[in-house]
Amino acid sequence: MKVLVVGGGGREHALVWKIAQSPLVTQVFCAPGNPGTASLAVNVPIKADEIDKLLGFAKSEGIDLTVVGPEQPLSLGIVDLFQEYGMKIFGPSRAAARIEASKAFSKDLMQKYGIPTAAYGVFTEIEPALAFIQQTGAPIVVKADGLAAGKGVVVAQTVDEANAAVQEMLSGNAFGSAGSRVVIEEFLEGEEASFLAITDGKEVIPLASAQDHKAIFDGDKGPNTGGMGAYSPAPVVTPSVHAAAMEQVVQRAVDGMAAEGCPYCGILYAGLMVKDGQVKTLEFNARFGDPECQPLLMRMQSDLVPLLLAVAEGSLAGKTIEWYDQAAVCVVMAAEGYPGEIAKGDEINGLAAADQLADVTVFHAGTAEKCGKVVTAGGRVLGVTARGTTVAAAIERAYQGVAAITWRGVQFRRDIGRKALDRR
């Protein structure tokens, strides 16, 4: 069968890498792809948000299954469009993708269906928002309602900082239309975890646990990013936490979406805050996390394609997932200036040396090819991912891969996975 992967980041490179291993697959295409996917798939020069062009390509090429990586085409209704023309596609509908595309919709869903989460308010005007902040106090969390590439969240340590975030979002156009409405939440203490599941709208199969590292600097300091690294499994997700996440969060969300008339099919990502064995939900995402996707797929022993196909065809019944009894760690290497204004076009050295290391795979995220050389082309440039018998072993291998790669101004965190080691 022919498979089209939509997107061009690290998550999509990982999906292409895993899908290409399936004996069911004869050819993989990736739109638009990147220099990393080019070694495994045919890159197609169509952007992820050009959904009409993607449909045209899928029809003309006879694509048997389309897999959507990023959130933007989902929010634009790519799944609805493909299904209208009888094309098999993996991902939630436009209505279901609101669980990520609108934080207000997501929070209201949580409240209605008893999904544990932080107290919150939704605002489109500045003065009521400032009054809510004054009443609640700091620390407090201010979120742009719409899609902001993982960066539309400000964890304000002071009331003044929260007020400034509201001003920037509602009147300063900090996140464009995504910030025309804000969600303000109480600050939750604890340890974050990423809990992903695959669902056909009824059946729900959990993936392995994972933990992301959002802040740019070591020790979770500095502004939030799209993610600076991830590892799996995450020791904070104990058996009891796992059970609570499935029963109180994911299953209630899937059941709630069905009750709302927009059944959720695809990957459902729940960002959790865990404290004293209790879980609360920070957010939902409508797709694989990036960079969580990279270590999760390295640990997945099962063929991914039958699972994707089963969801696209509407029935996961009887499916299971087997995992390697190993850990995996992804360290993101980012461009100078990220998550602010970034430098582009710097030549990346050492990719071949890193790829030759045992159990290390370098997933491309923000790269491009220029005059036969691979150069930086985005904020998060590479996701160096490694597998090991333990988290500690996987960390060591991942950083061996990182050490082999250089470019001007490269930055990365040096403490990815440390929380897992601290729990030993």
Beta bridge partners of 7: 32
| Chain CA centroid to CA 17, Å | 17
Exposed (0-12), middle (13-18) or buried (19+): which is 61, by Cβ within 10 Å?
Answer: middle
Amino acid occupying residue 322: E
Looking at 269, 291, 313, the residue that finishes a domain is: 313
Looking at 279, 313, 347, the residue that finishes a domain is: 313
Identify the domain containing residue 379 by its residue range.
327-422
Q: Answer whether 71's CB lies under 8 Å from 287's CB.
A: yes
How many domains does the chain divide into?
Answer: 4
Let me know whether 84 and 136 are in one domain. no
Let me know whether 71 and 8 are in one domain. yes
Q: How far is CA 218 from CA 221, 318, 416, 418, 419, in A?
A: 6, 42, 8, 10, 11
392 inside domain: yes
pLDDT at 223: 86
Distance from C-alpha of 217 to C-alpha of 416, rounded to nearest angstrom: 10
Q: Answer whether 28's CB lies under 8 Å from 65's CB.
A: no
Q: Which residues contact 3 (CB under 8 A, 6 or more apart)?
A: 19, 25, 27, 28, 29, 63, 64, 65, 66, 67, 305
Kind plus residue range of the DSSP H or E element containing 270: strand 266-275
Let me know whether 300 and 198 are in one domain. yes
Q: Which residues contact 62 (CB under 8 A, 6 or more apart)?
A: 2
Per-10-residue mean pLDDT of the chain, 424 residues long, equals 98 98 98 98 98 98 98 96 98 97 93 96 91 92 78 86 90 62 93 96 97 94 92 96 97 98 98 95 95 98 98 95 98 96 96 96 97 96 98 97 98 96 78
| CATH assignment at residue 416 | 3.90.600.10
pLDDT at 170: 86
Let me know whether 302 and 212 are in one domain. yes
pLDDT at 172: 61
Q: Which residues contact 302 (CB under 8 A, 6 or more apart)?
A: 320, 321, 322, 323
Distance from C-alpha of 292 to C-alpha of 206, rounded to nearest angstrom: 14
pLDDT at 344: 95
Q: How many CB atoms lie within 10 A of CB 301?
A: 10
pTM of the model: 0.93
SS3 category, 70: coil
* Cis peptide leading into residue 339 (ω within 30°): yes
Q: How many CB atoms lie within 10 A of CB 176?
A: 13
Kind plus residue range of the DSSP H or E element containing 420: helix 418-422
161 inside domain: yes
Q: How many CB atoms lie within 10 A of CB 350?
A: 15
Let me know whether 298 and 345 are in one domain. no
Distance from C-alpha of 207 to C-alpha of 222, rounded to nearest angstrom: 30
φ, ψ for residue 418, nearest 5 deg: -65, -35
103 inside domain: no
Distance from C-alpha of 55 to C-alpha of 50, rounded to nearest angstrom: 9
Let me know whether 287 and 195 are in one domain. yes
Let me know whether 338 and 401 are in one domain. yes
Distance from C-alpha of 75 to C-alpha of 80, rounded to nearest angstrom: 10
| CATH assignment at residue 285 | 3.30.470.20
pLDDT at 150: 56
Q: Answer whether 3's CB lies under 8 Å from 14's CB.
A: no
100 inside domain: no
Tokens of 135: 């009443």
**Angle between the N-to-C axes of helices 126-136 and 159-170, in degrees from 0 to 180, rounded to the nearest 10:** 160
42 inside domain: yes
Where helices occur in 248-291 by DSSP H, the ranges are 251-259
Let me know whether 203 and 284 are in one domain. yes
Let me know whether 214 and 309 are in one domain. yes
| CATH assignment at residue 136 | 3.30.1490.20
Looking at 274, 291, 313, the residue that finishes a domain is: 313
Which strand ranges, in their side-by-side order, compose the sheet holding 65-68?
42-43, 27-32, 2-7, 65-68, 89-90
210 inside domain: yes
Let me know whether 303 and 260 are in one domain. yes
DSSP state of 94: T
108 inside domain: no
150 inside domain: yes
Q: How far is CA 227 from CA 73, 163, 216, 383, in A?
A: 20, 25, 8, 10
Let me know whether 169 and 247 are in one domain. no
pLDDT at 65: 98
| CATH assignment at residue 37 | 3.40.50.20
pLDDT at 107: 93
Distance from C-alpha of 87 to C-alpha of 65, rounded to nearest angstrom: 7
Let me know whether 374 and 289 are in one domain. no
